[in-house]
Structure 1
Amino acid sequence: MVDRKDIGSWLEGPGSRSAAPSAYPGERLGMPREGSGSMGRFGRRLVGVVIDWSACQAIAAALFGVPLPFRGVATSTQTLILLAIFALENLLLLGTTGYTLGHRIVGLRVASLDGRTPRPFQALVRTVLLCLFLPAMFWDKDGRGLHDKAAGTVIVRS
């Protein structure tokens, strides 16, 4: 059976098993333990993405007639429209402000590893991988998903 620590070995990169364990998520990246600039935790990130997805569902329902979850089942075309709206929201807002609507509400922002707002290419890579969903399901010891690692970004508290 595959264990989480086995998967973590390739997520962490070479030499991760021999490296000293960090005391808290984000320590290896030079981030504070708590407060502004510390790593965004899973609970906040989950609430943020639920808010984003719900807002995108409302927009898709209003503009394109995509049924809300409690009103019926969307067709595959309607689901693609919803996913396109979600991707557009992420691309535009992350590339300009560094956060989506959901991130802002829960007090998070996406930043480059140098602390700045993500560059357009970083926002693009992160959004494409986030829309694939699977990369967001695997994360390292710092709580960074594969979509954040590939884009060179991190979610921090604002």
Structure 2
Amino acid sequence: DDWMVSWLVGWLCSKRTIRSTLREIKMAELKTQLNDGNVAAFLNSVENEKKRADSIAILNLMQEVTGEEPKMWGSSIVGFGSYHYKYESGREGDWFTVGFSPRKQSLTLYIMSGFAQYDLLMGKLGKHKTGKSCLYIKKMEDVDQNILRELIRQSVKHIKKTNEAN
């Protein structure tokens, strides 16, 4: 009887371990992936007219700077270009070079190189907030379009240069 209880406990533990491992693997999968979503339909679904117009302006600006066609990444990010990354941990994947999303609170621009090396540009940009790789603006009139264009240009150049070596 003891060996059966032991076996059953071991079996249950192994099942639980397998389930939790599968759950961890699922969580580790990147949810924001390149897909064939319709960019125009996504932007046309933005309810706020001003935010929709600003989103189209950002789309045109990023397309001009990158020379890339816009693509949907996940359900709510418009990305331009892509690069392959690989961390020291071994985790790797593909990501957009630059992108944006018309979020409820603000327009979120994804500047993948971060902002540390762009102090001069950031000081001239206008009204904004930043996260690690996110630039938050309320509306396009709040920022200098030429400075924004240069920030995007330099970021794209930096991402391409640093990922050539990988």
TM-score normalised by L of structure 2: 0.25
TM-score normalised by L of structure 1: 0.26
The structure with higher relative contact order (CA 8 Å, sep 6+) is 1
Look at both structures and tell me which one has the larger radius of gyration over its CA atoms: 2
Task: Identify the structure with the greater strand proportion.
Answer: 2
